Amino acid sequence: MKNLFLFCRSGYEKDCAAEIQQRATELNVGGFVKTNINDAYVIYQCFDDNGADTLVKELALSSLVFARQMFAAGELLSDLPEQDRVGPIVASLAALSKCGELRVETPDTNEAKELSAFCRKLTVPLRQGLKKSGALLNAESDRRPIIHVCFIGPGKAYAGYSLSHNSSPHFMGIPRLRMAADAPSRSSLKLDEAFGAFLTKEEQETRCRSGLNAVDLGACPGGWTYQLVRRGMMVAAVDNGPMDPKLMETGQVKHYRADGFRFEPPRKNVYWLVCDMVEKPARVAELMEAWAINGWFKEAIFNLKLPMKSRYKEVSVILETIGAILTENEIDFKMQCKHLYHDRDEVTVHLWIFPEKGVSYA
């Protein structure tokens, strides 16, 4: 297949396009980008007929900042007949065999969501047709490729596949998280999503467990602190503003009325550092670098607020700078960055210092 379909947030198509153009070029998969503003998706059309197949194998979705999900797709199926939508879609997927799941999706826009009811209705007969053709297994399997059919408009769809080990487990790449009634703010969902995006369930059990110590810089009113407390951690909440009274009643939070940029942890056994401050991204990055060089945390999750223009370029420069400074200081690390569903004009970074040492202290 020659098209790579990438889901992204509406308004971030240019950033997603710039990123896939660069990353595909690095893998020697030539092509060009097709996108429209606010469509919430990007098409990377490869020059080689099998270019998209190469990308879904060699380009890790987890390494892309602005793409929520991606799949290799054939040509746009347009003017699908109302009397038979299933037939042309099944025919276009004739080269696929024994896939484990079907997802009939739309981009994340209000216009596309109007097709959601139709997509749900189409899923059953389409699944039957794909099973009959052999493209889909009779029983779902999370170890086999996933068939994607994404309707971008009435009678218009891209059909293709993703590899289960290099794909978001979520429909449209969007996790469905519930806002807890007692959470101090909606920002709480950002950290909840971040833990799920950067750590597997098994990793969360060992690295987000009860007894670990954490610091939340810019904590007020406690949206991110709430997620740390919920996981049983002891939290130093740093902010000149007030904290949620219910959080303070848990006995797991100590409130430091201080500037997050000047705070030094009194005890050096901090495992998690989290930070969601409204500040210039370069300044936040410098703060994270300083904490890493001082050895004041083991893992960090922090947000970088984005500029209005050249967002991919800005993020790339900041991440490269963080990496260069840590390397200069002989600090081994792993770093990931994602534009999460619950992020708006910001990206979320996960930084793990000396990962080979594991969970070294509580």
In angstroms, rounded to a whole number, what is the distance separating the alpha carbons of residues 292 and 336? 15
Residue 240: C-alpha distances to residues 223, 237, 243, 256, 297 (Å):
15, 10, 9, 8, 22
Domains of the chain (ranges plus CATH)?
A: 3-173 (3.30.2300.20), 188-357 (3.40.50.150)
pLDDT for the residue numbered 360: 55
In angstroms, rounded to a whole number, what is the distance separating the alpha carbons of residues 321 and 317? 6
Q: Which residues are annotated as a binding site for S-adenosyl-L-methionine?
A: 187, 220-223, 239, 259, 276
In angstroms, rounded to a whole number, what is the distance separating the alpha carbons of residues 90 and 135? 8
Contact 148, 160 (CB under 8 A): yes
DSSP secondary structure letters along 90-157: HHHTTT--SBSEEEEE--SSHHHHTTHHHHHHHHHHHHHHHHHHTSB-SS--TTS-EEEEEEEETTEE
Q: Which residues are annotated as a binding site?
A: 187, 220-223, 239, 259, 276
**How many other CB atoms are there within 10 angstroms of residue 144's CB atom?**
17
pLDDT for the residue numbered 356: 80
Phi, psi (rounded to 5 degrees) for 36: -130, 145
pLDDT for the residue numbered 362: 42
In angstroms, rounded to a whole number, what is the distance separating the alpha carbons of residues 322 and 303? 14
In angstroms, rounded to a whole number, what is the distance separating the alpha carbons of residues 251 and 49? 60
Give the pLDDT of the chain (362 residues) as one tens digit per residue. Answer: 999 999 999 999 999 999 999 999 999 999 999 999 999 999 999 999 999 999 999 999 999 999 999 999 999 999 999 899 999 999 999 999 999 999 999 999 999 989 999 999 999 999 999 999 999 999 999 999 999 999 999 999 999 999 999 999 999 999 999 999 999 999 999 999 999 999 999 999 999 999 999 999 999 999 999 999 999 999 999 999 999 999 999 999 999 999 999 999 998 899 999 999 999 999 999 999 999 999 999 999 999 999 888 899 999 999 999 999 999 999 999 999 999 999 999 999 999 998 887 665 44
In angstroms, rounded to a whole number, what is the distance separating the alpha carbons of residues 232 and 239? 21
334 a catalytic residue: no
> Three-state SS for 71?
strand
**Which one of 34, 131, 305, 313 is the catalytic residue?**
305
pLDDT for the residue numbered 355: 86
**Among 359, 314, 305, 341, which residue's Cα sits nearest to residue 194?**
341
